[in-house]
A and B are shown apart, each in its own frame.
Chain A
């Protein structure tokens, strides 16, 4: 098949800000990921084939074992939290509720450091929560999630909760520091 091993990781980026989209796209491409960037939660759902009307037929997933996504191969979804109409949190919920994409790692970005918001996202399935502006150091944290997702494709039954918890770093929120401190 050659679909998994040699192919690039495909990341779906969701952000209503054009500047932030450009930035995240560049950050991801610098790390050699293939990127699709959309400007809203509903566009993201549309892209994934998860339209509001009906969920995709779950039975179709059994057709090709090494490729359990419907039509779109997405290895990670990174989304802004604060968007008009549908927040990143709403999008997270919808993805986790879908049969096709519930195992795809989701990362939330936000310009605001609201601990309750962060915990809620993480509790409801987000792998990481990045404070904006997102930096290369943050994007480097995505690799383990992507690799884990890929190994699940090969071994769909080895979902290991313990592994998941080990990968999660204790520091959810990036320490805010102003670089450089120039007085």
Chain B
């Protein structure tokens, strides 16, 4: 596949991520912060998010398995996850966290367990999407091409 084709594929894929709500404007902000002096900024931050959040999800799982669930603690974890997903533009993960927090407030265990499943699902979906995105970028770079900038106006 030649570079032009790969670039078009990347643009289409990125567009779809926005259309399907996986990404929001914050991701564009991240891309804007990447430059020659910080060429891996986006990958670094996103990778950090997935590492950090994996642990958070584990903590959440065990917190909800306790005899006496500490909803404040659960809420604190979800708040953290909501914050970091929001910071990288992972919109669907963030939205799932918002719902989760309302169940924490109500101290609704069943609701929380359902939300945890939902958050996990969104999390792994997002991870998948980002991995595809970065792979496409790598392929372009390896072929000597450059990454086309994401244009908001094309949506």
A contacts, CB < 8 Å to B: 17-20, 22-23, 26-27, 30, 82, 111, 132-133, 135-136, 178-180, 182
Contacts and interface: CB of A to CB of B under 8 A. Distances in A.
Nearest 8 CB-CB pairings of A with B: A179-B25, A19-B84, A133-B87, A111-B83, A180-B152, A26-B33, A182-B155, A133-B26
A112 to B, nearest CB: 9
Interface string B62-80: 0000000000000000011
Contacts of A133: 26, 29, 86-87
Contacts of A30: 33
Contacts of A132: 83, 86-87
Interface in B73-114: 79-80, 82-84, 86-88
Interface stretch (B4-12, B43-51, B125-133): B43-51
B60 to A, nearest CB: 16
B54 interface: no
Interface string B15-53: 000110100111011101100001001001100110010
A182 B18 contact: yes
Residue among A22, A23, A133 facing the most chain B CB atoms (10 A cut-off) = A133
Contacts of B83: 17, 20, 111, 132
A17 B25 contact: no
A174 B28 CA distance: 18
B117 to A, nearest CB: 23
A19 to B, nearest CB: 5
Interface residues of B, number: 28
A82 B87 CA distance: 15
B32 A136 contact: yes
Contacts of B28: 179
Contacts of A179: 24-25, 28, 152
A23 B152 CA distance: 21
Contacts of B38: 26
A27 B25 contact: no
B18 A23 contact: no
A26 B45 CA distance: 11
Contact of A17 (B30, B41, B84): B84
B33 A27 contact: yes
Given A135-B29, A182-B155, A23 B86 contact: no
A119 to B, nearest CB: 22
B33 to A, nearest CB: 5
Contact of B25 (A19, A22, A180): A180
A128 B87 CA distance: 19
B44 A22 contact: yes
Contact of B87 (A19, A136, A182): A19
B24 A178 contact: yes
Nearest to A27: B33
A26 B41 CA distance: 9
28 contacts: A18-B48, A19-B45, A19-B48, A19-B49, A19-B52, A19-B84, A19-B88, A22-B48, A23-B33, A26-B41, A30-B33, A82-B79, A111-B82, A132-B83, A132-B87, A133-B26, A133-B87, A135-B29, A136-B29, A179-B24, A179-B25, A179-B28, A180-B18, A180-B25, A182-B18, A182-B19, A182-B21, A182-B155
